[in-house]
Chain A
Amino acid sequence: MAIAERPAETVSLPRVNVRPGWAGWLSTTDHKRIGIMYLVSAFVFFLIGGIEALLMRIQLGTPDNTFLTPDVYNQMFTMHGTTMIFLGLMPLNVGLGNYMVPLMIGARDMAFPRLNALSIWLFIFGGLMLYVSFFVGGAPNVGWFAYAPLTQKQFSPTAGVDYWIVGIGLTGVASIAGALNFIVTILNMRAPGMTLNRMPLFVWMQLIVAFILIFAFPVLTVATIQLLFDRHFGTRFFLPNLGGDAVLWQHLFWFFGHPEVYILILPTMGIISEVLPTFSRKPIFGYAFVAYSGVAIGFLGFLVWAHHMFAVGLGPLANAFFGAASFLIAVPTGVKIFNWLATMWQGSLNLTTSMLYAISFIGMFVIGGISGITLASPPINVQQTDSYYVVAHMHYVLFGGAIQGIFAGIFYWFPKMTGRMLDERLGKWQFWLMLISFNLTFFPMHLSGNAGMPRRIYTYEADMGWGLWNLISTIGSLLLAVAFLIFLWNVLTSLRRGPIAPADPWDGATLEWAVSSPPPVYNFAVTPRVRSRRPLWDEKYPHLVNGSHEAPTARPRSPLHDGFEREIPAVMEPIHLPSPTYAPLIVSVGITILGFGIIYLGDFGLIAASAMLVGLLIMAAGIFSWVRISHIDSPHHAHHGV
């Protein structure tokens, strides 16, 4: 596309200073490489979480089964929930955002590339730390919600809960740093002409999610630190028999935990807001409504946390408030759904795998949304609390919604990220198998839940009458695994032999399709100028701008929304890219060693304290090298321009 490559000979392209091989990945500050590292590592964790789910499904497939022991089963569902949320869905969204947001807004990198590298390393180390717990006495087995006081040392003596606290803490720091990075990048580094109201909707949703994260995640971090002190250092925040309050944990946890659901789902709503218009060959219907209903969801998401706690006995006033607020969230969500439908209405649909996933997202998410509205009603909720009905609802939202949205995004952007096309035929096999087996797995859970089956039980007796639904769910989950194997096969073969991807395989409207596939390290040789919400369609189809179907005689001029602006002369500034550096990796290693020290500080004081000291020293060394490299890299530094 002309936007990027036009005057290449007139600017000095950067001396690309990438180290070869593994060193290039360990020292990278390139948002694209970091995005790929997020996607790959999150997908590995996602597969592990899936295997944990399969083990649980095998255990529950028949009554009175003893495939797993109760303790292993409890570790499995704790790690499944924790993994899927913190190490799977969230970082998959972050990975897509990390890769695409700078490209979509016409920037060369994230605002803080080294902080970005710190985020990916802390995320990977935090995830690995959680999994180390399997080998040192047992993984956490208190549920991903970790209700007090079961998490206290008296009831959970292994270090599993401590690993959970510190592992989640590390990924939390990574997420908060990442969110700050997204906010600054999106607010400050948009290409000239790209006003907030011209940003792609995926960027909008990432911006909203970053703000949600900043307000929600610190609450979890603080609560887990309180828990750590309860377990080891004699405080009693959540200890009811010493005057603490077990319900306080639930408030703190869900004040984070409910916005977290929107952290998982909003980016995928952004993805399908990109995919649907591209493959309907129509602009998004009601752009402003889609964008601002995302803001409304983000705001309302903070007012509904106690709908997880209707069975606690908070009293009628609190229950009524949180029930009503939960109903309200359905309004902006419904607005989005209708806008997506209207986008497809009378479009010329191109049913690629990506588009199929986006359409299926709408259908499955609506099912999950409707069971969500019934759950928002306190009297109904009290009947369903902690039954499999909730499991069904939650998986329709997070699998039928988030996972399918992420697959829509992966099939959409894989050519851009790798330079190869995924196989569409395998993709469609995967899609249909996944859609059918997903429903086979999770739909019967509505029924077993209504028949009274509680969540998180290791096994059940045959005469309880839940056997048939559980057997169907288990068969469905095994088929789901096949769908994921097809995807893995597709990725591995396409990376080697897939057709070479052109720059713009889908005839997209946003800036990432203006650069080659995969994009050059510097993204854009010349910062693009943006005149509407669909900069690339403007360029490719100038005669369609402003709804005119006639070939243009002169360039239309209209300063209004979606119109043209006066030509801005291109400024040929030199391209400035951050140098590769190991500093963020070193800092993360230091923080991780510090974390191991914290875990064992209560039990092995001296050894743990020395480990903490070593960790702090490594961290200090990392920070020192960080400061040095950022000084060298600064644009004002004499010899290292370009």
Chain B
Amino acid sequence: MNRKYLGYLFEIAWILPSVAVPIAFMVAIVITAFAVGIAVPGDAGRVDPKALSTTAPFDQPGLRELAPGRYEAVVIAQLFNFSPGEIEIPAGSKVTFIVTSRDVIHGYKIEKSPINMMVIPGQISRMTTTFDTPGEYYIYCHEYCGAGHHLMVGKLIVTPAKTASTNR
């Protein structure tokens, strides 16, 4: 094998992985989006931050059971807490979080889950996920919001399923 041909092979050996890496990343996105069901937060409408107390659903923040195992959590983020601050659901529940802010930009991140949204005054953020593993999970504000940013922590409690979880 002559030297030039070897050099050519060498070059190909660099180029192919360089092409393969971005393709692998793209494939990973498609898989996370469609197979694993991880979605990015979407703009779910707008709301006047001054009128939260009179605008449904934010006039009654809290957890609502829509159907067995299907919940909707309406959350208002404000300086420096979440309302409600603690949410308790049985394992296996599918929860849709509908969140907005009363004042400045906040974050809504539930540890060990795909939920991570920027919470923007004037905008409603919405994400849905299923919680299978019982335990206590912190909810962090991850967008810097002022002097009490580090205090802005909530809690999600996933209790063991009510019935023996046979048909999840």
- Cβ–Cβ contact B150 & A70, under 8 A: yes
Contact A241/B121 with A338-B14, A378-B29, A452-B112 known, Cβ cut-off 8 Å:
yes
Bits for A241-262, please: 1 = Cβ < 8 Å to B, else 0.
1000111000000000000000
Q: In the complex, A63 Cα to B147 Cα: how many Å?
A: 18
Question: Does A350 sit at the interface, judged by CB under 8 A?
Answer: no
Structural contact, B42 and A315, CB atoms closer than 8 A: yes
Which one of A107-115, A142-150, A280-288, A609-617 contacts B?
A: A142-150
User: Residue A74 contacts which of B40, B79, B141, B146 (CB distance < 8 angstroms)?
Assistant: B146
Does the CB pair B25–A377 fall under 8 Å? yes
* Contact for B105 among A150, A379, A452, CB less than 8 A: A150
Name B141's contact: one of A383, A387, A454 (CB within 8 Å): A454
The reply to whether B122 and A246 contact each other, CB–CB distance below 8 Å, is yes
Check B107 for interface membership: any CB of A closer than 8 A: yes
A373 interface contact, C-beta 8 A: yes
**Interfacial residues of chain A within 287-302, with CB under 8 A of chain B in the complex:** none
A319 is an interface residue with CB less than 8 A from chain B: yes
Q: Is the contact region of chain B dominated by helix, strand, or loop, or is it mixed? A: mixed
Q: Tell yes or no: A311 within 8 A of B by CB.
A: yes
* Contact present for A313 and B150 (CB under 8 Å): no
| Candidate in A330, A382, A460 with the most chain B CB atoms within 10 angstroms | A382
Closest Cβ–Cβ distance, residue A29 to chain B (whole Å): 43
Which B73-130 residues have a C-beta within 8 angstroms of A?
79, 103-105, 107, 109, 111-112, 114, 116-118, 120-123, 125
Decide yes or no whether A71 CB sits under 8 A from chain B: yes
B140 lies within 8 A of A454 (CB): yes
Give the distance in Å from the alpha carbon of A457 to the alpha carbon of B147 in the complex: 9
Contact call B29/A377, Cβ cutoff below 8 A: yes
Within 8 Å CB of A374, what residues of B? 25
Contacts of B146 in A (CB 8 A): 74, 141, 150, 155
Verify A149–B104 contact, CB threshold 8 A: yes
On chain A, the number of residues with a Cβ less than 8 Å from chain B's Cβ atoms is 52
Asked, given contacts A143-B144, A313-B123, whether A379 binds B33 with beta carbons under 8 Å apart, the answer is yes
Q: Which residue of chain B has the shortest Cβ distance to A451 in the bound complex?
A: B111
**CB-CB < 8 A to A245: which residues of B?**
122
Contact A313 B29 (CB under 8 A): no
Q: Taking the complex as formed, is B70 at the interface, i.e. its CB lies under 8 A from any CB of chain A?
A: no
Residue of chain A at shortest CB distance from B107: A386
**Complex formed: what's the CA distance from A155 to B78 in Å?**
12
Decide: A313 near B140, CB < 8 A? Known: A241-B121, A334-B18, A457-B149. no
Selected contact of A313 from candidates B22, B38, B125, B138, CB within 8 Å = B125
Known: A150-B146, A454-B140, A458-B150. A312 touches B118 (CB 8 A): yes
Q: Which residues of B contact A365 (CB under 8 A)?
A: none
Q: Which residues of B contact A459 (CB under 8 A)?
A: 150
Stretch from B44-52, B54-62, B154-162 at the A interface: B44-52
Q: Is B28 in the interface zone, CB < 8 Å from A? A: yes
On chain A, the residues within 8 Å of B120 by CB distance are: 240, 246-247, 312-313
Cα distance, A142 to B145, chains bound together (Å) = 8
Contact check, A452 vs B138: say whether CB atoms are below 8 A apart.
yes
Hey, which chain A residues are within 8 Å of B103, CB to CB?
149, 155
Are A377 and B28 within 8 A (Cβ)?
yes
Q: Is B114 within 8 A of A382, CB to CB?
A: yes
Docked pose: A330 CA to B140 CA in angstroms? 32
* Bound form: Cα–Cα A455–B145 in Å: 11
Complexed CA–CA distance, A536 and B96 (Å): 68
Say whether B43 faces chain A, with CB atoms less than 8 Å apart.
Answer: yes
Knowing A155-B104, A338-B14, A454-B141, say if A330 contacts B147 (CB, 8 Å).
Answer: no
Interface presence of A494 (CB below 8 A): no
How far apart are A181's CB and chain B's nearest CB, in angstroms? 36
| Other-chain residue from A311, A379, A460 in contact with B38 (beta carbon distance below 8 A) | A379
Q: Which A-chain residue is minimally distant from B50 (CB atoms)?
A: A241
Q: B150 touching A455 by the CB < 8 A rule?
A: no
Answer whether A311 and B107 are a contact pair too, CB < 8 Å, given A74-B147, A246-B122, A454-B142: yes
Distance in angstroms between the alpha carbons of A373 and B21 in the assembled complex: 10
- Are B41 and A313 closer than 8 Å at their CB atoms? yes
Contact among A142, A143, A331, A454 with B109 in the assembled complex (CB-CB below 8 Å): A454
Sort A-B residue pairs by CB-CB distance and give the 3 closest, nearest first: A240-B122, A454-B142, A457-B150
Chain A interfacial positions (CB closer than 8 Å to B): 70-71, 74, 141-143, 147-150, 155, 240-241, 245-247, 309-316, 319, 323, 327, 330-331, 334, 338, 373-374, 376-380, 382-383, 385-387, 452, 454-460, 464
Can you offer 21 A-B residue contacts whose CB atoms are under 8 A? A141-B147, A149-B104, A155-B79, A240-B49, A247-B123, A310-B40, A311-B107, A311-B116, A312-B41, A313-B123, A319-B40, A327-B22, A331-B22, A338-B18, A377-B29, A379-B29, A383-B114, A385-B109, A386-B143, A387-B142, A454-B142
